[in-house]
Structure 1
């Protein structure tokens, strides 16, 4: 590998632009506004992203309009993450992010993205972090970041393409996961909310539910915060609130850790985790546990409510927990000081649903179990791909592996 003389990040970019230091007004849909949680390691994470109007988008892109192959760097929380903008992604910068446009005559955009994520550059970038609580990288350090051992442009393109291929596979799997979950939740809504289940044309509605169905409250069919015991001072995996997604079931394993002391909130595979505190519940934080070994018990944030199907399947339980009415019932029960309100467990005893007949439940489970099983396999594939990519990245970038 032939190397050029050391350069700075500013040397290989057409520009490096800071964000506007104010919060953009958001709306239901529109242009994605990239905050630091949306800056992944290589890719933008657009699930649950804030959106802004066209007028706001124009104001927030006055300095520069982000385009494909530009990079976005997070200045804090998590400081140092870098993502490349892909074709078709029209975004603007939220707070604490930086917009970089690589000069294609000097550096390959994919390569630069992954080069910045490699340990030497991350160490140099984060060495100057400031801030008592959240680490913060300043603009001067970003611009002056030394880029040692940059290979020739042709080699850069090959290296960038190799790592990008892993992220492309991960992204394709993520989209499949999203579609599979969407299909399960839509089936639940069609059958058990809109009552358009197989054979519904021949069934009358009595007392608000189809004839033959049972009117029940949630604790009749789902165990709330089931009790689990674990050996004292034994290793146990801990899942924080940050691991839960606002839009899907996948639990982010990067934020989990192994502890020797368990919290009071414990769960197993196939349990549903529901945030009970504001604003996490309103934002949609809910997860489906599918990453533990057989018989393994994990623990989590004390701000979780654990739901375990008793007379219904885990699939029914999770889909119910994602419905609007279920969540609104929980939100309305919240009490406490402003900003720290919590769901009252008694609210579940007040929420009435129709329990379908066993044949209908079995049909639903047969269909949705396939979706959930495929999702688990795809999540496993993505974890393996991420591990392989992260092992390959430093070896590729330091020249240990030739291309």
Structure 2
């Protein structure tokens, strides 16, 4: 089977841009996708993608088209073991979600493939396999503390198995079926949470406050210590910026830090994480289990009679977040808010009946969202297990799939190489 370097398959590659932050002569507005935006864009969330102004003459060569791939070439995180080389496939649903032309950011590169030789989505899965396997790290060098992906070296050294086009499309179709189901789950979770935020706003909790927020919410409450043998641990990188569900965690012996349990909300207290919206709702622990997390978390817990989701939506509220940001102190670049200052906030108390109705709806919705995220984790694990086997052309025997729904069920349990 033919293995070809990516240089043979790429017909166009162009670095991104950043433009300027305000209108100017000869500049037009654009949406600029960064590596940090890949996950949100993949799930249909485009509101946090920066809108900037780029030189009119540079927009045309940088403008993203359906079927393109965006490849992150600078950044990464040595501390988190995250290399450069993340990628985003621009499917047919991506660009219509934007009201402006889309270009990649300056730390990314637009890559376009020769469709007579390779299916673009198949080529994207080759890049994903490179990233997940750790091979992307082989093409990195360090410059002033930033990891840089050596694109030219990658083009010559990274080989992709190129089977007949029909087989490429079958493989891409199997993997895409799993990814599409994951994306549907993400979109349902996002839409559900947006509806709940609107219901929280209707409670008018943060308009003209009359009582201290601490009457309804505890800040850094006392929590029993975790088991000495080890406990779930959540770091700052795992805290989401747009939705409640915490997607990943590790286990380690407790060494201090924040303590929390199911039903608590974690609020980042340090810049720029607080401004970026890093906030999560804890619902992945065993009953009675205590977990630990970063020292840069403030833990919020509902008082008796208050729905456990109430502190989460309070932490997402623009007025409360603005208050917390204004209370930050410290040296430039390392500012943080302490729990006492964040708690110095007044709210209006809804009637018990309205709180109960909100709690009932939020509780049911959070249970449903947690189920969707658990399903997505199972589907992602299945995709990650299939990916290297399919890309290498190895035969895959059909195996029981995770409990999924919809079209992904048949694809997840089948094989393009089944005899």
Match of 1:200 in 2: none
**Residues 281-329 of structure 1 deviation map (CA, whole Å, 9 limit, x = unaligned):** 1221111112222222221111110000014111111111111111122
1:230 to 2:225 alignment: yes
Equivalent position SS for 2:283: coil
Q: Select which of 283, 290, 296 maps to 1:297.
A: 290
**Distance change >3 Å, CA 353–CA 309, structure 1 → 2:** same
The correspondence for 2:328, drawn from 334, 349, 353, is 334
- 2:21 and 2:189 map into 1 onto residues whose CA distance is 27
Tell whether 2:184 aligns with 1:172.
yes
Partner of 1:198: none
Contact kept, 8 Å, 1:217 with 1:348, in 2: the verdict is no
What runs of 5+ residues in structure 1 fail to find an aligned partner? 196-207, 210-214
In 2: Cα distance, 1:338 partner to 1:252 partner: 30
Shift of 1:31: 4.1
1:7 maps onto 2:19 in alignment: no
Q: Tell me the distance in 1 between the aligned counterparts of 2:335 and 2:277.
A: 15
Report how many residues are paired: 376
Matched residue, 2:120: 109
| Residue matched to 1:377 | 371
Q: Tell which deviates more after alignment, 221-230 or 343-352.
A: 343-352
Mark the CA change 1:123 to 1:307 in structure 2 (over 3 Å): closer, same or farther: closer
Q: 2:87 is matched with which residue?
A: 82
Is the deviation greater in 145-154 or in 44-53? Answer: 44-53
The whole-number CA distance in structure 1 between the counterparts of 2:191 and 2:134 is 37
Structure 1 residues 369 and 47, CA, compared in 2 at 3 Å: closer, same or farther? farther
Are 2:37 and 1:38 aligned? yes
Q: Flag the 1:334–1:111 CA change in 2: closer, same or farther, 3 A.
A: same
The 8 Å contact of residues 42 and 94 in structure 2, kept in 1 or not, is answered as no
Distance (Å, rounded) in 2 between the aligned partners of 1:140 and 1:41: 28
- Decide which of 2, 14, 17 is 1:17's aligned counterpart: 14
Question: Residues 232 and 166 from structure 1, CA distance in 2 versus in 1: closer, same or farther, beyond 3 angstroms?
Answer: closer
- Quote the Cα distance in structure 1 between the aligned partners of 2:243 and 2:392: 36
Write the distance in 1 (CA, Å) between the matches of 2:352 and 2:4.
Answer: 68
Cα distance in 2 for residues equivalent to 1:235 and 1:119: 32
Answer yes or no: is the 8 Å Cα contact 1:44–1:85 preserved in 2: no
Please state how far the C-alpha of 1:163 moved relative to its aligned partner: 0.3
Provide the rounded CA distance (Å) in 2 between the counterparts of 1:232 and 1:372.
27
Alignment of 1:2-401 (within 5 A): 3-4=1-2, 6-20=3-17, 23-26=18-21, 31-40=30-39, 43=42, 46=45, 49-53=48-52, 55-56=53-54, 58=56, 61-75=59-73, 76-77=75-76, 78-90=83-95, 91-119=102-130, 122-131=133-142, 133-193=145-205, 215-230=210-225, 233-253=228-248, 256-311=249-304, 312-400=306-394, 401=396
C-alpha distance in 1, partners of 2:194/2:160? Answer: 45
> Partners in 2 of 1:120 and 1:249 — Cα distance?
27
Maintained 8 Å contact 1:57/1:92: no
SS at match of 2:225: coil
CA distances 1:364-385 after superposition (whole Å, capped 9, x unpaired): 1112212111111111111111
- The answer to whether the 8 Å contact 1:47/1:247 transfers is no
Residues 31 and 64 from structure 1, CA distance in 2 versus in 1: closer, same or farther, beyond 3 angstroms? closer
User: Residues 259 and 24 of structure 1: is their aligned pair in 2 closer, same or farther, counting only changes over 3 Å?
Assistant: farther
Shift of 1:395: 1.5
Superposition deviation, residue 193 in structure 1? 4.2
Task: Identify if the C-alpha distance between structure 1 residues 52 and 41 changes in structure 2 by more than 3 Å, giving closer, same or farther.
Answer: closer
Task: Say what the alpha-carbon RMSD is for the aligned residues.
Answer: 2.6
